[in-house]
Amino acid sequence: MKKAEALISSVLFEKINTIAPDAVTKADMESMFTVPPDAEMGDLAFACFKLSKVLRKAPQMIAQSLCGDFSCDAVERCEAVAGYINFYISDSFRTDVILGDILSRGEEYGKIDIGKGKTMVIDYSSPNIAKPFHIGHLGTTAIGNSIKRIYSFCGYDCIGINHLGDWGTQFGRLIVAYKKWGSKEAVEQLGVKELARIYKDFYVEAEKDPSLNDMAKAEFTKIEQGDKEALELWHWFKDISLNEFMKTYNRLGISFESYNGESFYNDKMDRVVNELTQKGLLKESDGAMLVDLEEYGMAPCLILKNDGSTLYATRDISAAIYRKENYNFDKCIYVTDAGQSLHFAQFFKVIGLMGYDWNDKLVHVPYGKISINGEKLATRTGNVVLLEELFDDASKRALAIIEQKNPDLENKEYIAEKVGIGAVIFNQLSSGRIKDINFVWEEALSFEGNTGPYVQYTYARTCSVLSKTECEDKKLPDGLVLNEDEKALISILSKFPVKVEQAHDDYEPSYISRYLLDVCAAYNRFYHNCPILKEEGDVKALRVALTKAANTVIGNGLWLIGLEKTPRI
Ligand code: ARG
């Protein structure tokens, strides 16, 4: 309804200014529009309360006088009620302008150009090498992918970076564990599972024999110094992990512009340490080096350990500077769980203290923690759900349902995979991202009610209608009269661009997923109440066009949240 609002607003603006010049600005006007709580009261309302002071009249009087001879193409009629002007949008405006716009823009509908000419770096997913890819990474992977799509839909040039956790003492531990308890065959055969198993053994053994910890440190130092054997092992572990991660990314249709993980910054950190030293920001504490952030109400940011080795934050500071120099981003966002908020606040501050005024372009986008059946997720105790297994199960369940309901469907396995994954991803994206999630297997895989498969199913329904008839591209006939279901459907479809913008502003994919549920509800109501293919002439043309418009919006929305468009289920 933005278009209708703009037209109405300019007519009102003229009228108000003839009564009292400079009484309002266009920006003031924007805040006076609301959407009435139910359709009986019109499609848009304009509140006259703020005008009452400047015009020295009661709001209802103002509403009445503005309503008087109101004339605008978008409006069929208006009424003054309790200080509001309620506007009823004309059917011709709905069909010619709103519906016409959706149909003519198609896949472009909903795109806005606020990001045109701007670059956005998005650091997301970023799992740790040699550790299982588990449900703890689902949030960053699904939310990050969706935010990336939303931003590119808004015109940004997006660079997705997988900042792999591929550096640190844990690789020393892994080498020790491998040499002591591992075998080439087992790692080759079992991959990350075997690496995770021997890594766990390390902790058990190190409890009994702490000298293992020193050995691990020594092994990591070897990697850092470029020792051939150590580096080869490290590379091998990394390749094995990445290969497995890639399988999951492929299933999700996700790829990254860069896989530069923490190790990439190994030779770039000296510069940061020198710069911090030169700028007088480093302080010694028990042999370690840190940046004191007490003044800003934060714990210090650790830069070097007492043995001179670098930390997670050191690599992140390096990475941010590297990204700014290489991509010249307008925004660089990091999607991780809220548990890392302090880390981001600390290193953003350090970058600011180094004199880089672009530190305000670094944004941490946190999401809630995930627990499993009410218990904390823990790789060490095994309270963990592997993404691969979750997706396998989801896809198996979807296939079982298809076998039951639509056994002759072509390409069953493929569709079951997309619907199963759709259920899991949608479940992750359907509540506000900051909310903690308690993962319950049955709920995440539910296909009933407000779920991904429901949206995919409605999409398939629109495709099925369209496959049985022609949607002619020509202009819809004049003088169409719309019923309530048709009006409601057009109203909801018209909100898509605003939802995209809000999702962009708040980094919030759930705005899109919840909106899709509303669109599906409106389309399904229309579908049940209004025959489409049985109709003829203008009515049929209109209903087919509405189906096409719903198909466009649901399709574009599914893409934004990273779900596959499924023409048939
Ligand atoms: N590897 C980290 C983890 O699994 C996430 C990295 C996020 N990105 C970053 N630049 N710190 O917790």
Q: Which domains does the chain have, with CATH numbers?
A: 2-89 (3.30.1360.70), 168-260 (no CATH), 399-560 (1.10.730.10)
How far, in Å, from the CA of 83 to the mean position of ligand 1? 53
Instruction: Give pTM, 2 decimals.
Output: 0.94
d(CA 418, CA 251): 8
Q: Count Cβ atoms within 10 A of the Cβ of residue 104 and give its class: 0-12 exposed, 13-18 middle, 19 or more buried.
A: exposed
CA-nearest residue for atom 3, ligand 1, is 127
> Measured between alpha carbons, how far is 353 from 279 in angstroms, rounded to an integer?
9
Q: Please, are residues 142 and 425 in contact by the beta-carbon 8 Å criterion?
A: yes
CA 178 and chain centroid, separation: 38
What amino acid positions are annotated as catalytic residues? 131, 134, 137
The rounded Å distance from CA 290 to ligand 1 centre is 20
Ligand 1: centre distance to CA 453 (Å): 31
Say yes or no: CB of residue 318 within 6 Å of ligand 1.
Answer: no
Nearest atom within ligand 1 for CA of residue 137: 4
Q: Which of 476, 486, 488 lies closest to 541, judged by CA?
A: 476
For the Cβ of 162 lying below 6 angstroms from any atom of ligand 1, the answer is: no
Q: Which atom of ligand 1 is nearest to the CA of 136?
A: 4
By CB neighbour count within 10 A (0-12 exposed, 13-18 middle, 19+ buried), where does 290 fall? buried
Please indicate whether residue 140, judged by its CB atom, sits closer than 6 Å to ligand 1.
no
> Which atom of ligand 1 lies at the shortest distance from residue 312's CA?
11
DSSP calls for 189-218: HHTHHHHHHHHHHHHHHHHH-THHHHHHHH
Question: Dihedral, CA atoms, 385, 261, 316, 124, nearest 10 degrees?
Answer: -50
The answer, yes or no, to whether any atom of ligand 1 lies below 6 A from the CB of 134, is: no
Q: Which residues contact 440 (CB under 8 A, 6 or more apart)?
A: 373
367 lines ligand 1 (CB under 6 A): no
**Does ligand 1 have an atom closer than 6 angstroms to the CB of 241?**
no
Contact 557, 107 (CB under 8 A): no
Q: Which residues pair with 119 in a beta bridge?
A: 157
Regarding the beta carbon of 128 and ligand 1, being less than 6 Å apart is answered yes
Q: Which of 129, 163, 269 is the best mutation target for the ligand 1 pocket, counting ligand atoms within 8 Å of the beta carbon and taking the most? A: 163
Atom 4, ligand 1: residue with shortest CA distance? 127
- Please tell me the residue having the least CA distance from ligand 1 atom 7: 126
- Cα 394 to Cα 244: distance, rounded to the nearest angstrom: 19
127 lines ligand 1 (CB under 6 A): yes
pLDDT in tens, the chain (569 residues): 788 999 999 999 999 988 888 888 888 899 999 999 888 899 999 999 999 988 999 999 999 999 988 999 999 999 999 999 999 999 999 999 999 999 999 999 999 999 999 999 999 999 999 888 999 999 999 999 999 999 999 999 999 999 999 998 889 999 999 999 999 999 999 999 899 889 988 999 999 999 999 999 999 999 988 999 999 999 999 999 999 999 999 999 999 999 999 999 999 999 999 999 999 999 999 999 999 999 999 999 999 999 888 999 999 999 999 999 999 999 999 999 999 999 999 999 999 999 999 999 999 999 998 888 788 877 666 677 899 999 999 999 999 999 999 999 999 999 999 999 999 999 999 999 999 988 887 887 788 889 999 999 999 999 999 999 976 666 788 888 999 999 999 999 999 999 999 999 999 999 999 999 999 999 999 999 999 999 999 999 999 999 999 999 999 999 999 999 998 88
Question: How many other β-carbons are positioned within 10 Å of the β-carbon of residue 152?
Answer: 17
* CA 235 to ligand 1 centroid distance, Å: 19
Cα–Cα distance, 408 to 520 (Å, whole number): 25
Return the pLDDT at 440: 84
Atom of ligand 1 lying closest to residue 336 CA: 7
